[in-house]
Structure formats: C-alpha cells, structure tokens
C-alpha cells in the first residue's frame, strides 16, 4: 500500500545567556561537573526561581525572526515527571501560554521548490542535567551543570513529508538561530537537538495515523536516517495489518535502527499546572520593540550585501552564508585583506573541502587564525608564493596555526617569478626530453603539462606556474 508521510519536529535550542534561566549560575558548556549549581537549579525544596530577562528577550527575538506572534501574557508551568537528571521531579516549562505563537519558515528542496512549514509555538523552559553512563565503574553519574540552562522549544506543525524536508527545515532553523545570535547551535554539544514525530496514513487520507516520537537526535545525518528507518518500519507494520503504537523511540546511530523506549505520554500525563513560584508575566510592547531594534541582518540580507557590495556571485554568496561561523570568518579575513572574491574562491574550494575531510559533525570550525589566513591569501594573490606552496602551507597551518609568513622566510619558499631563470630551466628540460617535444609537435597538448610538472618537481613547487606555462608554449611553438 502507498502511504503519505507526516512529520513534525520539536527543536530544542539552548540559549547563550550568561546565566541560567531561573538563577544566577553560569551558563557554560565547559566546567568541572556540578560546579555551576545552586539550590535553585538542583531543585532543593524551598529555593525560589527568578526569571532571566535576557532569556525572555532571546525567546522573543527567535519568535520575531520566524514571524511568530508574541503573547502579551506568558505563563510558566510545571511539567511533572520523574527522572534522575531532574532533581525536583518537574521541569519549568510553558504549556497554555507560551511566549511565541505561530509563525513559520520557508524551505527549499534540491529542485528549488519552496514549501512553507508552519510553527505551532516557541516556548521557554529549563534544560535538565546530564546523565553520564560509565561502564568502568558500572554505574551512572549525574552532572547538574546543564540543569536550568535556558532552552527554547520550537514546535512545528506536522507539515513535512520526507527526510529531505525535515533536514532542510532543521538546517534553516539553525541558520536563523545562529544569525540572530541566540544560540551557538552546536549539534555535537547538544545545544541544538530535535525530536521527530512521524506517522503514516493511507495515501490521500485525511485521517492522521498513530505517531512515534524519536528523541534527542543531534545531527542532520541521524535525523535523515532515523526518518528513513521509521518510514520503513511503520509501512511494514501497516502492510501486515498491524497497529503502530504511540511510543517514544530511541535512535541508535551505530546500529542504524530505533528501539522502543516507552509508551508515549500525552500532555495530560504531565499534569501541567501554573508554577506557584512564578507569576504570569506581561510582555510589554516596548520590550518587543526594543528586541526588534536589535535584530541583525539575516541571511537573505547578507547575500544581497555580498552580491551587490562585494561582487560575489549569487551562488557563492549562498554557499558562504549557509553557516554563520563561515560568514564571520570570511568577514574577518576580508577586513585584513580586502580581496573578497579571491578569498571566497579559496574558502569555497580548498577550505570547505578540508572541513569536510576533517569533521564528522555539522559544526563548522576553522582552526587557522583569520589574520594568519589573510596573510597566506595575500602572499598567494600577490604572487609571492605559488599555488602549490600555498596549498602545502594551508595544510600545515590548519594543523598548527604556525605563522605562514615566517615559514616562507625560514624555508625560502618564495615563488620564483624570474622569467630568465625559468626559461633556462625549461630549456634544460626540453634538451632532456626530446620525445615529449616530439609528442607536443604531433598534437599532444598534454606534453605541456608534463614539462610544467617536471619543472615543479625540480623547484619544489616554487616556480611561477603561470609564467612557466606561457614560456613553454612560446618556446615549443
Ligand atoms: Zn543555579
């Protein structure tokens, strides 16, 4: 039987405030376990939470960036459940009155078709602590540093119908959250993660099927694979006339399959009720306007700037702006060496290739200091070093960030641009390899690259390849 696939995502994103959401403990990923904790965030009885205004502002900012309506009154509620990483046995969250309602984002598939994914809401809540399973001691340890870190949950409507669309949506959201600087969105560190709700229904039917939820996926790859797997699993069940049960499943990336964790609860199972320690709060229009005035350039505006002001092609600008880390890096490098097109070319080819080779994760990180990278680009662009040397140096400083100018001086890597010297070396090669000269004369153009290759070998890549190509042609023609 053929089925329609219905997918909704709940995306959790940690906000990068200085302190936690209901206390003044540091909000920081690093730090010794259980050092950023106080009676409030470990949930000692009687400790009183105080909302962090910055976290509220960031939630509003996220809402404005995706066209949500900002509620004028919001309420914090207790979501009751027991788990060891949640010492007080309830999570402060929002149910009936979240900060943001509605909105949506537009995604584009590989064929360039656009689709609007509606949002249900964005609410603010606290993160739980972290369980660390340790096979050496045969037990589980708890780190409460993450407990009380502000978290926004962005809930979509079930508007997606394939793994590709879910990944495009997640990637778009990540891009927006990065640009408005409310979250660093490091998927590997868990500051951006998502739950996928997925169900199947007979093709064309209006009635929704029973859904399964997959928890805590933290890479684009696992989102895609988990969805593909779940589509197969559910269609097999339905084909065989069996029921899909409403449940929460855990995705195991290593084994490429999901496992049932527990029967899925409904909202009423959590017994939400307004937190008596936190009064409903009014969000003044003036606060919303204040947040609006701090909204930075989003991706589309940045693309426009790169194309119109810096002369990049639209394609290049799109690739570059796909990740804010890359944008920031590029802007910095250009501020030291103002040749944007030249730098962009190198980044989109050599640098991105390197990133892909080196990183399994979706977080982009370039280990070379921008000033050092700008110096490398400047030496290459001015012809001080050859392309071959530039690539070698790039590979080296990627590993150790050594000063590339110093390396060129110390090792005498400067490019040889002296036409007379290059000419005499080429003459030697012509004398040595008469067969290749013959090949060229009988129409084999490849013989030219043979001479350039030999020349590079002898000069350890220091001869100016452009000059050499021009000369060898002249000499043989
Ligand atoms: Zn605390």
> pLDDT (tens digit, 9 = 90+) per residue, 130-146?
999 888 888 999 999 99
Cα 133 to middle of ligand 1, angstroms? 23
Tell me whether strands 247-252 and 212-217 are parallel, antiparallel or unpaired. parallel
Instruction: Using CA atoms of 96, 100, 101, 103 in order, give the dihedral in degrees to the nearest 10.
Output: -160
Contacts (Cβ under 8 Å, ≥6 apart) of 395:
354
Cα 29 to middle of ligand 1, angstroms? 14
Burial label, 45 (beta-carbon count in 10 A; 0-12, 13-18, 19+)? exposed
pLDDT digits (tens, 9 = 90+) for 117-127: 999 999 999 99
Cα 151 to middle of ligand 1, angstroms? 15
DSSP code for 86: B
Burial label, 294 (beta-carbon count in 10 A; 0-12, 13-18, 19+)? exposed
Which of 62, 227, 218 shows the shortest CA–CA distance to 161? 227
Burial label, 424 (beta-carbon count in 10 A; 0-12, 13-18, 19+)? exposed
Cα 41 to middle of ligand 1, angstroms? 4
Separation in Å, CA 150 to CA 18, 46, 278, 290: 10, 21, 16, 21
Checking if the pLDDT of 96 tops 80, the result is yes
Cα 47 to middle of ligand 1, angstroms? 10
Cα 269 to middle of ligand 1, angstroms? 28
pLDDT given for residue 446 in this prediction: 83
pLDDT given for residue 361 in this prediction: 64
Cα 63 to middle of ligand 1, angstroms? 26
Checking if the pLDDT of 267 tops 80, the result is no
Checking if the pLDDT of 378 tops 90, the result is yes
Cα 153 to middle of ligand 1, angstroms? 21
Cα 96 to middle of ligand 1, angstroms? 26
Cα 42 to middle of ligand 1, angstroms? 7
Instruction: Read off the pLDDT band of 362 (50, 70, 90).
Output: low
Separation in Å, CA 448 to CA 261, 424, 429: 65, 16, 11
Cα 174 to middle of ligand 1, angstroms? 27
Cα 83 to middle of ligand 1, angstroms? 19
Contacts (Cβ under 8 Å, ≥6 apart) of 421:
none
Cα separation, 171 vs 163, whole angstroms: 12
Structure tokens at 364: 């982009």
Which of helix, strand or coil describes residue 340? Answer: helix
pLDDT given for residue 359 in this prediction: 64
Checking if the pLDDT of 251 tops 70, the result is yes
Average pLDDT value for the chain? 91
Q: Where are the domains of the chain?
A: 3-289, 297-411, 419-476
Cα 143 to middle of ligand 1, angstroms? 13
Which of 185, 176, 172, 166 shows the shortest CA–CA distance to 12? 185
pLDDT given for residue 447 in this prediction: 83
Cα 214 to middle of ligand 1, angstroms? 30
Given a contact cutoff of 8 angstroms between Cβ atoms, the answer to whether 464 and 389 are in contact is no
pLDDT given for residue 463 in this prediction: 86
Identity of the highest mean pLDDT range in 130-144, 157-171, 360-374, 414-428: 157-171
DSSP 10-39: EEEEE---SB-SSS-SB--S-SSTT-S--T
pLDDT given for residue 158 in this prediction: 96
Among 75-89, 198-212, 260-274, the range scoring the smallest mean pLDDT is: 260-274
At 309, phi and psi to the nearest 5? Answer: -95, -35
Please give the average per-residue pLDDT across 444-461, as a whole number: 86
Neighbours of ion ligand 1 (CB under 5 A): 23, 25, 38, 40-41
Please give the average per-residue pLDDT across 215-233, as a whole number: 93
Cα 39 to middle of ligand 1, angstroms? 6
Cα 375 to middle of ligand 1, angstroms? 45
**% of residues, the chain, pLDDT over 90:** 63
**% of residues, the chain, pLDDT over 70:** 98
Q: What is the largest CA-CA distance in the chain?
A: 93
Cα 250 to middle of ligand 1, angstroms? 30
Checking if the pLDDT of 358 tops 80, the result is no
Cα 35 to middle of ligand 1, angstroms? 10
Cα 5 to middle of ligand 1, angstroms? 42
Instruction: Read off the pLDDT band of 363 (50, 70, 90).
Output: low
Which of 439, 432, 425 shows the shortest CA–CA distance to 468? 425
CATH classification (class only), 419-476: mainly alpha
pLDDT given for residue 442 in this prediction: 85
Cα separation, 374 vs 336, whole angstroms: 6
């Amino acid at each position: 039987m053929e089925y329609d696939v219905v997918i909704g995502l709940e995306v959790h994103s940690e906000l990068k405030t200085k302190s936690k959401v209901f206390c003044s403990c540091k909000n920081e990923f690093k730090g010794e376990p259980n050092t950023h904790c106080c009676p409030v965030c470990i949930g000692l009885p009687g400790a009183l939470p105080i909302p962090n205004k910055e976290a509220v502002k960031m939630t509003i900012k996220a809402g404005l960036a995706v066209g949500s309506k900002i509620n004028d009154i919001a309420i914090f509620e207790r979501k009751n459940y027991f788990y060891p990483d949640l010492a007080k046995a309830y999570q402060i969250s929002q149910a009936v009155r979240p900060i943001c309602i509605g909105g949506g984002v537009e995604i584009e598939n590989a064929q360039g078709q656009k689709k609007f994914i509606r949002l249900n809401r964005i609410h603010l809540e606290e993160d739980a602590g972290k369980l660390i399973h340790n096979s050496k001691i045969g037990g589980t340890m708890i780190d409460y540093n993450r407990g009380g870190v502000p978290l926004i949950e962005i809930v979509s409507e079930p508007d997606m119908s394939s793994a590709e669309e879910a990944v495009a949506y997640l990637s778009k959201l990540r891009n927006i959250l990065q640009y408005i600087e409310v979250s660093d969105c490091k998927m590997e560190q868990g500051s951006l993660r998502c739950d996928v709700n997925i169900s199947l229904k007979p093709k064309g039917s209006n009635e929704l099927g029973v859904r399964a939820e997959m928890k805590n996926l933290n890479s684009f790859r696992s989102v895609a694979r988990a969805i593909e797997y779940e589509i197969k699993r559910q269609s097999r069940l339905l084909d065989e006339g069996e029921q899909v049960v409403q449940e929460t499943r855990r995705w195991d990336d290593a084994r490429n399959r999901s496992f049932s964790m527990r029967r899925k609860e409904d909202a009423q199972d959590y017994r939400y009720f307004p937190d008596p320690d936190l009064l409903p709060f009014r969000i003044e229009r003036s606060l919303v306007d204040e947040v609006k005035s701090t909204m930075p350039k989003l991706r589309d505006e940045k693309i426009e700037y790169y194309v119109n002001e810096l002369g990049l092609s639209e394609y290049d600008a799109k690739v570059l702006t796909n990740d804010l880390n890359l944008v920031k890096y590029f802007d910095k490098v250009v501020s030291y060496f103002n040749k944007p097109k030249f730098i962009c070319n190198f980044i989109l080819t050599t640098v991105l290739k390197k990133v892909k080779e080196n990183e399994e994760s979706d977080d982009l990180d370039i280990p070379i200091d921008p000033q050092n990278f700008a110096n490398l680009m400047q030496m290459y662009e001015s012809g001080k070093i050859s392309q071959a040397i530039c690539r070698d140096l790039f590979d080296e400083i990627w590993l150790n960030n050594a000063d590339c100018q110093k390396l060129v001086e110390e090792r005498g890597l400067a490019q040889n641009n002296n036409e007379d010297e290059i000419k005499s070396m080429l003459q030697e090669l012509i004398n040595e390899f008469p067969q290749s000269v013959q090949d060229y004369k009988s129409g084999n153009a490849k013989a030219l690259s043979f001479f350039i290759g030999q020349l590079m070998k002898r000069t350890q890549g220091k001869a100016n390849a452009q000059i050499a190509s021009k000369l060898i042609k002249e000499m043989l023609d």
